Structure 1
Amino acid sequence: MFRSSRVAACAALPAVLLLLSLAGCGGDDDVSPGLPQLAAAQAATYTGDCAALAARIGSPANTTITAASTVAAGTLTLAGQPIAEHCLVTGRMHERVSAVDGKSYAISFEMRLPRNWNGRFYHQGNGGLDGNVVTANGTLGGGPLTSALVQGFAVLSSDAGHAGALGPTYGIDPQARLDYGYQAVGKLTPMAKGVIQATYGKAPDRSYFGGCSNGGRHAMVTAARYSDQYDGILAGAPGYNLPKAAVANIFGAQHYATVATDPADLSTAFTPAERTLVANAVLAKCDALDGATDGLVQDTNACQAAFSLANDVPTCSGARDGTCLSAAQKSAIAPIFSGATTSTGAPVYASFPYDSGLAAAGIAFWEFTAPLALDSGSVGFVFKVPPESASGFNGPAFSLSANIDTLVAQINATDATYTESAMSFMTPPHPTDLSTLKNRGGKMLVYHGVSDPIFSVNDSAAWYDGLRTANGGDASNFARFFRVPGMGHCSGGPATDQFDVLSPLVAWVEQGQAPDRIVASARGAGNAGGVNAEVPAAWAANRSRPLCPYPKVARYNGTGSLESADSFTCQ
Structure 2
Amino acid sequence: MKNAQRRTAYRTTAPLGLGLGLLLAACSTTPPTPTTPLAPAVGTSLRQCDTLASQFRFDQATIDSAAPVAAGGLMLAGQPVAAHCLVKGQMHKRKGSDGRDYAIAFEMRLPQAWNGRFYHQGNGGLDGAVRPAEGALGGGPTTGALVQGFAVISSDAGHTGAQTAVFGLEPQARLDYGYQAVAKLTPMAKSLIASAYGKGPDRSYIGGCSNGGRHAMVAASRLGDQYDGYLIGAPGYRLPNAALAQLWGAQRWTPLATPGATVKHPLNPNANIPDLGSALTAPERQTVAQAILGRCDALDGLKDGLVQATQACQAAFDVARDVPTCAGARNGSCLTPAQKTTLAQVMAGGKATNGQSIYSAFPYDAGIAGSNWATWKFINSVALDPLSVGTIFTAPPAAPADIASANIDVLLPAISATSATYPESGLALMSPPGNGNPSNLAPLRARGAKMVLYHGVSDAIFSAEDTRQWFERLNKAQGGKASDFARYFPVPGMNHCSGGPTADQFDLLGPLVKWVEQGVAPQAVTASARGAGNAGGVNAELPAEWAANRSRPLCAYPSVATYNGSGPIESASSFSCR
TM-score, normalised to structure 2, is 0.91
Matched residue, 1:54? 53
Deviation per residue, 1:320-356 (Å, 9 max, x gap): 1112111111122211011211111111110011101
Contact 1:443 1:508 in 2 (8 A): yes
Q: C-alpha distance in 1, partners of 2:363/2:33? A: 34
Q: C-alpha distance in 2, partners of 1:257/1:341? A: 17
The structure 1 residue matched to 2:526, chosen from 497, 519, 525, is 519
Matched residue, 1:298? 308
Deviation per residue, 1:224-244 (Å, 9 max, x gap): 100100000000111111111
Q: Which amino acid aligns with 2:360?
A: A
**In the alignment, does 2:543 pair up with 1:539?**
no
Q: C-alpha distance in 2, partners of 1:228/1:298? A: 35
Matched residue, 2:22? none
Runs of 4+ in 1 over 6 A off after TM superposition: none
Deviation per residue, 1:176-227 (Å, 9 max, x gap): 0110000001100001011001111111000000000000000100011001
Deviation per residue, 1:241-278 (Å, 9 max, x gap): 11111101111111111211235210111000110110
SS at match of 2:126: coil
Matched residue, 2:570? 563
Deviation per residue, 1:134-193 (Å, 9 max, x gap): 000002233333111001110000000001111231100011011000000110000101
Contact 1:169 1:377 in 2 (8 A): no
**In the alignment, does 2:151 pair up with 1:154?**
yes
Q: C-alpha distance in 2, partners of 1:53/1:95? A: 19
Show the 5 A alignment for 1:225-264: 225-263=222-260, 264=274
Show the 5 A alignment for 1:249-398: 249-263=246-260, 264-389=274-399, 398=402
Q: Which amino acid aligns with 1:45?
A: S
Q: C-alpha distance in 2, partners of 1:69/1:262? A: 55
SS at match of 1:51: coil
Q: C-alpha distance in 2, partners of 1:388/1:306? A: 43
Contact 2:297 2:306 in 1 (8 A): yes
**In the alignment, does 2:475 pair up with 1:468?**
yes
Deviation at 1:427, TM superposition (A): 0.2
Worse overlay, 139-148 or 463-472: 139-148
Matched residue, 1:222? 219
Deviation at 1:63, TM superposition (A): 1.1
Matched residue, 1:400? 404
Deviation at 1:64, TM superposition (A): 1.1
Matched residue, 2:40? 40
Matched residue, 2:418? 414
Matched residue, 1:28? 31
Q: C-alpha distance in 1, partners of 2:494/2:194? A: 39
Matched residue, 1:12? none
SS at match of 1:412: coil
Matched residue, 1:112? 109
Show the 5 A alignment for 1:64-143: 64-99=62-97, 101-143=98-140
Q: Which amino acid aligns with 1:28?
A: P
Worse overlay, 140-149 or 309-318: 140-149
Q: C-alpha distance in 1, partners of 2:142/2:226? A: 28
SS at match of 2:164: helix
Q: C-alpha distance in 1, partners of 2:168/2:494? A: 31
Q: C-alpha distance in 2, partners of 1:27/1:231? A: 27
Q: C-alpha distance in 2, partners of 1:322/1:144? A: 32
* Cα root mean square deviation, aligned: 1.4
Q: Which amino acid aligns with 2:46?
A: Y
Matched residue, 2:496? 489
Q: Which amino acid aligns with 2:127?
A: D
Deviation at 1:27, TM superposition (A): 9.7
Matched residue, 2:266? none
Q: C-alpha distance in 1, partners of 2:132/2:546? A: 33
Q: C-alpha distance in 2, partners of 1:116/1:413? A: 49
**In the alignment, does 2:486 pair up with 1:479?**
yes
Q: Which amino acid aligns with 2:62?
A: T
Q: Which amino acid aligns with 1:471?
A: Q
* Count of paired positions: 535
Contact 1:56 1:199 in 2 (8 A): no
The structure 1 residue matched to 2:429, chosen from 422, 425, 436, is 425
Contact 1:255 1:333 in 2 (8 A): no
Q: C-alpha distance in 2, partners of 1:143/1:220? A: 21
Contact 2:37 2:515 in 1 (8 A): no
Q: Which amino acid aligns with 2:55?
A: R
Deviation per residue, 1:425-460 (Å, 9 max, x gap): 110003412112101000000000001000000000
Q: C-alpha distance in 2, partners of 1:55/1:197? A: 15
Q: C-alpha distance in 2, partners of 1:27/1:108? A: 48
Q: C-alpha distance in 2, partners of 1:562/1:220? A: 35
Matched residue, 2:61? 63
SS at match of 2:569: coil
Q: C-alpha distance in 1, partners of 2:443/2:104? A: 27
Show the 5 A alignment for 1:423-462: 423-430=427-434, 431=436, 432-433=438-439, 434-462=441-469
Q: C-alpha distance in 2, partners of 1:265/1:80? A: 36
SS at match of 2:206: strand
Contact 2:47 2:196 in 1 (8 A): no
Contact 1:253 1:371 in 2 (8 A): yes
Deviation per residue, 1:361-409 (Å, 9 max, x gap): 11111000111111111111110112124xxx5x6xx133211111111
Q: Which runs of 5+ in 2 are unaligned?
A: 1-25, 261-273
Contact 2:146 2:152 in 1 (8 A): yes
SS at match of 2:483: coil
Contact 2:553 2:577 in 1 (8 A): yes
